[in-house]
């Protein structure tokens, strides 16, 4: 333990000395070096963020949590503090500003998402009710809902006759996400809903036919009914997206795709992507039945986290990828 503490301080000291020497040699501070050597994107912004956060200077430390309107001033103050001549380095303040917008934006997005999550679904609220009914209309445009409390809700994957008890710990965030998916990616959402409702049968390859006797095959084929509940899974994937956001794993994605501050709709697009990818993953994993859900979900979660460790990664939707859906 003591050795580790000593080692930590030794490394920290060494790092500061190294920074000092490099600064003297190149005549540039760490922020400049990062901006000049790394192209814009997650890698650059994350390095800037680490550099600012671990700084001894209060101005630099606090710069990652300033109000978005104060970013310009903060950048000017940083440049003055670092004694950088803006005439010689015109690009630097623009680069720093862009990074700070992303860093501050990510923090604010967490706060915004958290607020929605904490607001429970309330059937007395007109807005909540309207959104819920709209969700039905977007997913089932051809069959009207017969009553607000109805078994029909199960058709889009809620648990019972009133969805209000299904939002639980995700609150309004779950509804916002589901509605965004149904509204902005209507065809994709409807297709996934349709797939999720149907038991999936294995596609028969010639090899397999020769391996099994006919009766065995029939049994195997009809044992498999792996539909899942669309809305419930949507609320579950909302939790996954929320987790990725709060843990900071989504920084890679947002810093790569949002040139300025990431917004709620960026988060919702990420949710749509995750729904789509999860559906593909579910089919690939070929689970025996719904009881395997948490195992598959864990595996999916780990895979996304692994992907996000690559600084060039962006979770970009490609909804045209319908060839990956198994024909039913």
Partner 1 sequence: MGLLSILRKLKSAPDQEVRILLLGLDNAGKTTLLKQLASEDITHITPTQGFNIKSVQAQGFKLNVWDIGGQRKIRPYWRNYFENTDILIYVIDSADRKRFEETGQELAELVDEEKLSGVPVLIFANKQDLLTAAPAAEIAEGLNLHTIRDRVWQIQSCSALTGEGVSDGMNWVCRNVNAKKK
Nearer to partner 1, 174 or 262 (CB): 174
Least distance from partner 1 to the Cβ atom of residue 232, Å: 5
| Cβ neighbours of residue 301 closer than 8 Å, sequence gap 6 or more | 240, 243
CA torsion angle 32 36 41 47 (round to 10): -40
Nearer to partner 1, 43 or 166 (CB): 166
Least distance from partner 1 to the Cβ atom of residue 171, Å: 10
Least distance from partner 1 to the Cβ atom of residue 297, Å: 8
Least distance from partner 1 to the Cβ atom of residue 153, Å: 12
Give, as one character, the DSSP assignment of residue 160. S
Least distance from partner 1 to the Cβ atom of residue 285, Å: 13
Least distance from partner 1 to the Cβ atom of residue 161, Å: 10
For residue 44, count other CB atoms closer than 10 A to its CB: 20
Nearer to partner 1, 77 or 154 (CB): 154
Burial 91-117 (b: 16+ CB within 10 A, else e): ebbebbbbbbbbbbbbebbbeebeebb
Least distance from partner 1 to the Cβ atom of residue 124, Å: 15
Nearer to partner 1, 226 or 261 (CB): 226
Token output for 193 = 């809903």
Pairs from 6-13 (Cβ < 8 Å, separation ≥ 24):
none
Residues interacting with partner 1, by CB under 8 A?
154, 159-160, 165-166, 168-170, 174, 228-229, 232-233, 235-236, 238-239, 242-243, 289-295
Nearer to partner 1, 228 or 273 (CB): 228
Nearer to partner 1, 31 or 240 (CB): 240
| Cβ neighbours of residue 65 closer than 8 Å, sequence gap 6 or more | 104, 107
Nearer to partner 1, 141 or 160 (CB): 160
Q: Read off φ and ψ for residue 156, nearest 5 degrees.
A: -105, 15
Sign of CA dihedral 275, 281, 287, 293: negative
Give the separation between CA 52 and CA 59, rounded to whole angstroms: 9
């Amino acid at each position: 333990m003591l050795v580790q503490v000593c080692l930590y301080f030794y490394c920290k000291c060494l790092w500061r000395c190294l920074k000092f020497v490099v600064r003297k040699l190149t005549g540039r501070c760490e922020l400049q070096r990062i901006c000049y050597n790394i192209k814009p994107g997650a890698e650059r912004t994350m390095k800037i963020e680490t550099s600012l956060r671990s700084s001894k200077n209060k101005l630099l430390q606090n710069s990652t949590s300033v109000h978005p309107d104060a970013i310009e001033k903060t950048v000017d103050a940083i440049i003055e503090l670092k004694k950088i001549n803006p005439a010689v380095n015109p690009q630097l303040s623009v680069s720093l500003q862009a990074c700070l917008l992303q860093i501050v934006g990510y923090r604010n997005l967490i706060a915004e998402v958290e607020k929605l999550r904490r607001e429970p679904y309330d059937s007395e609220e007109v807005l909540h009710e309207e959104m819920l009914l709209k969700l039905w209309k977007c997913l089932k445009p051809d069959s009207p809902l017969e009553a607000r409390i109805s078994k029909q809700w199960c058709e889009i994957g809620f648990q019972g006759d009133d969805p209000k008890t299904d939002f639980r710990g995700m609150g309004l965030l779950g509804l916002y996400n589901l509605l965004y998916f149904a509204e902005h990616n209507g065809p994709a959402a409807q297709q996934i809903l349709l797939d999720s409702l149907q038991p999936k049968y294995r596609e028969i390859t010639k090899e397999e036919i020769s391996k099994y006797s006919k009766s065995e095959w029939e049994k195997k084929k009809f044992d498999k009914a792996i539909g899942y509940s669309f809305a419930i899974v949507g609320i579950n994937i909302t939790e996954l997206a929320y987790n990725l956001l709060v843990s900071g794993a989504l920084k890679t994605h947002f810093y790569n795709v949002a040139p300025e501050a990431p917004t709620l709709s960026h988060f919702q697009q990420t949710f749509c992507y995750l729904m789509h990818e999860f559906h593909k993953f579910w089919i690939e994993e070929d689970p025996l039945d719904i009881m395997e859900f948490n195992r598959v979900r864990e595996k999916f979660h780990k895979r996304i986290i692994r992907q996000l460790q690559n600084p060039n990664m962006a979770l970009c939707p490609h909804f045209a990828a319908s060839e990956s859906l198994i024909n039913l």
